Amino acid sequence: MSCDCGIIGLGVMGSNLALNIAEKGFRVAVFNRTYAKTVEFLGTTPLAGRSLFGFEHYQDFVAALTKPRKVLILVQAGAATDATIKSLREHLEPNDIIVDTGNAHFKDQGRRAAELEAGGLRFLGMGISGGEEGARKGPAFFPGGTLSVWEEVRPIVEAAAAKADDGRPCVTMNGKGGAGSCVKMFHNAGEYAILQIWAEVFDVMRHGGMSNNDIAAELQAWKDKGFLTSYMLDITIEVAKAKLHSGNPLSDVVRDKIGSKGTGLWSAQEALEVGVPAPSLNAAVIARQMSMFKDERTQNASCGIRVLPPVSWSFIGADKEAFLCKLYHATKLAIIASYAQMFQCLRELDKVYGFGIHLPSTIATFRAGCILKGFLLTPMTKAFEANPNLSNLLCAFPEALRDGLQAYRDMLSEVTAKTSVSLPVLSASLVYINTMFSSVLMSAQVVSLQRDVFGRHGFERLDEPGSHSHQWPELQ
């Protein structure tokens, strides 16, 4: 037999992607570390023996592939990926291609590419977004590496990818080296931030007196306006609707500890390393970290120190619609600000590492199939197509800023003054907007002088060129 590609790893993502590719007319060889999983998978589909073929041993799996062989790895990122590559390469020949689809750090993908290419093999790092449903019906793909390698696998990947409204497949070659994995990292960082924004909106609504049913209805009304239509809003509505058998909200009994797989943290670290301000992305990571300190939070809450305001707060009543309008504007701007930070990070990392990312093409791949998909991706794509040198994505949304910024400030002020609700990303996003639209930062002027006082670091002036230092009195 002769298979067009192979897939290693038949977990949720691997099995669904194998079905997706096989249904597009390709013959797919599949392999899993435990052969029982392969047998189980093939027993669930009529495609077995027709376009899906399973193998127990690496040598048989590799022998079934058309040369140059194309193998997609869908196992756990990190050590499991390296172990799989080590076992697989023993059976491959020069010019064969390994595609790693895991949530890998882009620097790790660069290392893998160098090691494999030194031995005559070829490598592509390619992130996937869309989860189980995306893998089955069409996800977004984020490849990066050597262009010639991409051209070899392109027909298969484009066929399996989600299609945007204009028919374009949600995949583009992002650039050299670890470009694809870098894009996937910051895709995930944006996902962290926007999921947290919707969670904070839910939190405000509940504390303001709305039931879960009320919240689901209000969010549906927001969706119907069109601007915020997105997959992440859809899943938040489903969370609000979810009930126990008793009829009580499921959200009330879920343990408040948020897991993560590392990509958000890596993105925050890389942003800090290259000096790009990304407070919303960072705050989303920190929010997850604080959630993990459940025991400490419980102990702190029982130590007798009251942090709750003395009077309970509710916006239910005559001011309900006015408050919800403010919250809607805040949500719009916080989401745009989070995307702005994500794209600024990609721009700077592209400069530092020479990936060759074409930002409009990359943004366009988010429009369907992936977690970030939503209405906003289309005007964002068009904004960078119209002006590749746009200083910041926020500048492409003047009406949203003009109509909503004061409402955003008013909402945050009221909630902060009258409740103990924590709004890390909504707060950080407003800080980002206020700061990045300030031509002069007085606090930065003061800190520059403080550094000169204690360390004689010098400072620059607005009215004169060069480095300056003031004659300060001795204070120690």
Cis amide leading into 465 (omega within 30): no
Contact 350, 357 (CB under 8 A): yes
Angle at which helices 212-225 and 320-353 cross, to 10°: 60
Length of the chain: 476
Distance from C-alpha of 85 to C-alpha of 92, rounded to nearest angstrom? 10
Question: What residues are labeled active site?
Answer: 184, 191
Q: What is the sign, positive or negative, of the torsion defined by CA atoms of 224, 230, 236, 241?
A: positive
**Run of H or E including 124:** strand 122-129
Cβ neighbors of 100 (< 8 A, separation 6 or more) are 73, 81, 85, 109, 112, 123, 124, 125, 126
Q: Which region holds residue 172: left if phi is over 0, alpha if psi is between -120 and 50, else beta? A: beta
Residue 221 one-letter amino acid: A
Tokens of 345: 């990070």
Distance from C-alpha of 403 to C-alpha of 418, rounded to nearest angstrom? 24
**Run of H or E including 416:** helix 398-418
DSSP class of 250: G
Distance from C-alpha of 166 to C-alpha of 156, rounded to nearest angstrom? 20
**Run of H or E including 429:** helix 424-436
Contact 198, 229 (CB under 8 A): no
